[in-house]
Amino acid sequence: MKMMKDVPTRDRPREKIKTKGVGSCTNPELIEAILGRGVKNKDVRAIAHDVSTMIAERNSTVDYAALLEIEGIGPGKAAQIMACFELGRRFYKEPDGTVKIQKPEDILPLVAEWRDKRQEYFVCLTLNGAGEMQNKRIITVGLLNHSLVHPREVFADAIADRAASIICVHNHPSGSLEPSSQDIAITRQVQEAGTLLGIQLLDHIIITKTGFCSMKERGLL
């Protein structure tokens, strides 16, 4: 196998992408373009060949740890490759029913079953870095007009999900959309805990039969 320095400039991956388009590159060439250079005693083309072979053999099981097993791939290069995988997954995958949360209204269909409950349900939605919902879980079921919630219950599963952020939702059986002093206090506690854990509280939404209230839009978050 030729080393990159022996490949004519016009045939190098980055030049091919510039002149012929990214579709003209083979899988190893795409990886060469991502990595840019090799390491001492191992050219970038040899590293790219090994990475391409692993991807072909393992497919979706390739992860950060697996990449580190390849000679010439350190933490920096592994991170580059995984970042490219994630960008491709976020922007170019075929629709698969993944729910992306961009505004409070996107939440309502996901929590409709709790809008008219006679008890107060406190629900947590976990999201990944792309704003896609990972899971939704009932954290507590309260009494007629209030539910006791502690940040540790809110974040226990979020940590297990490796969530980037969360959205909290609870219903008001009374039908009032006005946040109570307890709602505001809990929101601030969860927000502070999330800051320490590195998991952002994006919003806390109150729902009823007739509507919703976003505490973020109210300026309470």
What's the average model confidence in pLDDT over 150-159? 92
Structure tokens at 209: 């039969």
The residue from 41, 69, 92 where one domain ends is 92
122 has which bridge partners? 140, 170
Task: Provide CB contacts within 8 A for 155, sequence distance 6+.
Answer: 166, 190, 193, 194, 197, 199
The residue from 48, 68, 92 where one domain ends is 92
End-to-end CA distance of the chain: 58
* Contact indicator for 182, 155 with CB cutoff of 8 Å: no
pLDDT band at 142 (very low <50, low <70, confident <90, very high): confident
98 falls within a domain: no
97 falls within a domain: no
Q: What share of the chain is helix, strand, coil (3-state, %, to 5)?
A: 45, 15, 35
Q: Do 122 and 206 belong to one domain?
A: yes
Q: Do 88 and 143 belong to one domain?
A: no
**114: CATH:** 3.40.140.10
Structure tokens at 130: 């792309």
The residue from 92, 120, 142 where one domain ends is 92
* Contact indicator for 221, 203 with CB cutoff of 8 Å: yes
Q: Do 12 and 82 belong to one domain?
A: yes
pLDDT tens sequence across 206-219: 999 889 999 999 99
Residue corresponding to tokens 């919630």: 149
pLDDT tens sequence across 57-95: 876 678 899 999 999 999 999 999 999 988 887 776 555
Q: What's the rounded Cα separation, in Å, for the pair 158 and 135? A: 9
| pLDDT of 146 above 60 | no
Cα angle value 21/23/28 (rounded, 5°): 110
* Contact indicator for 173, 145 with CB cutoff of 8 Å: yes
> What's the predicted TM-score (pTM) here?
0.64
Q: Residue 32 is part of which domain span? A: 4-92
